[in-house]
């Protein structure tokens, strides 16, 4: 009996040592910014915590605990020696004055592999005072305001549960990234905020935006040139300008867009639903293999639209057609309500007509004074199947 008691004590003590060792190892892998002498402004503390974590040969985590902190312009860059996570549980506030920024971002993550941005925290861009100063909608040569978050050349990454609030410009810009997922991600800004795209993706491959909520003053999600294999699933959008591929054809040497899949999304009170847009007259490009399926529209002004004469604020010439070639597009099982009688508008280029456009089961009702609901198509011969609540194409 005594031997059993001794053996049990030894096992218990060994287990205690193992747990203590594991806890110690975990604590070594967590870099809490409040341990780096931070007070209200955590810019230097976060910079130093990131450097230490990035240099670790074991997976590490930088922690910003609950609380409210000021954060100036910052770049958190790799490459890091192992997987790294930034857990933000606090409220981070950007400088209010746009003049305190140089360049186009507030927080920039760059050149990191195996990266996670997580937590219940918020990046507050404090953009309200800046929106009235923006001239970018009318002036092509405007000074750009800073974006909340930039992800440049990030690979194998996850952004989860984070909120971006009231950015001065785009909330998120994704450039040159591969295998990056946004999950349970929240974008919040009022409908009158200027040029505040929720997530803009360009020149990236394998981007997933899933189960997220985006409300802003511009496109909820916008897709730039060079985007391939973008999957948007379970996203709610509104207010905003919808989910848009483009605008394309504004700049020379744009890379093709291909493999865009938008599914099981809901758009409410937006100025557009699912949209592809290109500029007339300017530069060429290719956009293909784009599919929009199982989409709910609630009081959306332009539910289904291809616009190849996109020319806001008359910043271009309408004398020549768009040089962007669009093909392989499907809109399937689109249902709900429209705020305007034109439920489907497919306005393709007369110089490069759209090819292989499919419309299937477009059941979007309009009950306003300008009815009945209708569709408009030009420079395209769509393949139509199923129920179409708005005839015309």
Q: What do you get for the CA distance between the two ends of the chain, in Å?
A: 89
Structure tokens at 137: 């909608």
Per-residue model confidence as pLDDT tens digits over 94-138: 999 988 887 789 999 999 999 999 999 999 999 998 998 766 666
Per-residue pLDDT of 127-172, as tens digits, reads 998 998 766 666 655 668 999 999 999 999 999 999 999 999 999 9
Separation between Cα atoms, residue 382 and residue 393, nearest integer Å? 7
Q: Are strands 113-118 and 84-88 parallel, antiparallel or unpaired?
A: parallel
Task: Examine the pLDDT at 9 and tell me if it is beyond 60.
Answer: no
286 closest CA partner among 235, 320, 329: 329
What does the domain layout of the chain look like in residue ranges?
Answer: 27-128+146-388
Q: State the DSSP code for 13.
A: H
Catalytic residue among 105, 171, 200, 241: 241
* Token representation of residue 98: 């746009």
pTM of the predicted structure, to 2 decimals: 0.91
Phi, psi (degrees; rounded to nearest 5) at 28: -65, -30
Q: What angle do CA 214, 217, 221 make, to 5 degrees?
A: 45
| Residue 312, helix vs strand vs coil | helix
The pLDDT score that the predictor gives to residue 316 is 74
Active site residue 241: yes
Residue 268 clears pLDDT 60, i.e. is over it: yes
For 234, 291, 303, 334, the CA distances from 362, given in Å and listed in that order, are 19, 14, 10, 5
pLDDT at 26 over 80: no
CATH number of the 27-128+146-388 domain: 2.160.20.10
Q: Which token pair is 228?
A: 């391939």
Q: Do the beta carbons of residue 60 and residue 84 sit within 8 Å?
A: yes
């Amino acid at each position: 009996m005594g031997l059993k008691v001794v053996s049990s004590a030894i096992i218990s003590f060994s287990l205690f040592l193992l747990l203590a060792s594991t806890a110690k190892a975990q604590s070594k892998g967590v870099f809490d910014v409040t341990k780096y002498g931070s007070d209200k402004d955590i810019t230097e503390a976060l910079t130093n915590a990131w450097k230490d974590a990035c240099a670790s040969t074991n997976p590490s985590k930088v922690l910003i605990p609950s609380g409210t902190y000021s954060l100036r312009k910052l770049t958190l860059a790799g490459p890091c020696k192992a997987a790294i996570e930034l857990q933000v549980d606090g409220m981070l506030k950007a400088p209010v004055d746009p003049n305190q920024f140089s360049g186009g971002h507030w927080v920039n993550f760059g050149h990191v592999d195996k990266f996670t941005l997580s937590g219940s925290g918020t990046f507050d861009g404090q953009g309200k005072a800046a929106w009235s100063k923006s001239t970018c909608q009318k002036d092509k040569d405007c000074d750009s305001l800073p974006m909340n978050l930039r992800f440049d050349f990030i690979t194998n990454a996850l952004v989860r549960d984070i909120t971006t609030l009231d950015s001065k410009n785009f909330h998120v810009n994704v450039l040159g990234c591969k295998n990056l997922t946004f999950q349970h991600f929240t974008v919040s800004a009022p409908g009158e905020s200027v040029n505040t795209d929720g997530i803009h993706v360009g020149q990236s491959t394998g981007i997933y935006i899933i189960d997220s909520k985006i409300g802003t003053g511009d496109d909820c999600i916008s897709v730039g040139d060079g985007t391939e294999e973008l999957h948007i699933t379970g996203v709610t959008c509104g207010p905003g300008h919808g989910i848009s591929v483009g605008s394309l054809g504004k700049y020379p040497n744009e890379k093709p867009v291909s493999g865009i899949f938008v599914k099981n999304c809901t758009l409410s009170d937006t100025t557009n639903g699912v949209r592809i847009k290109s500029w007339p007259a300017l530069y060429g490009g290719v956009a293909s293999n784009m599919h929009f399926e199982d989409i709910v529209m609630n009081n959306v002004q332009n539910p289904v639209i291809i616009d190849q004469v996109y020319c806001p604020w008359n910043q271009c010439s309408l004398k020549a057609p768009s040089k962007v070639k669009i093909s392989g597009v499907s809109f399937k099982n689109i249902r709900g309500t429209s705020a305007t009688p034109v439920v489907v508008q497919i306005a393709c280029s007369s110089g490069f007509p759209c090819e292989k456009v499919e419309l299937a089961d477009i059941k979007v009702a309009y009950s306003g004074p300008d009815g009945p609901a209708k569709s408009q198509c030009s420079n395209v011969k769509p393949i139509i199947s199923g129920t179409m609540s708005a005839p015309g194409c």
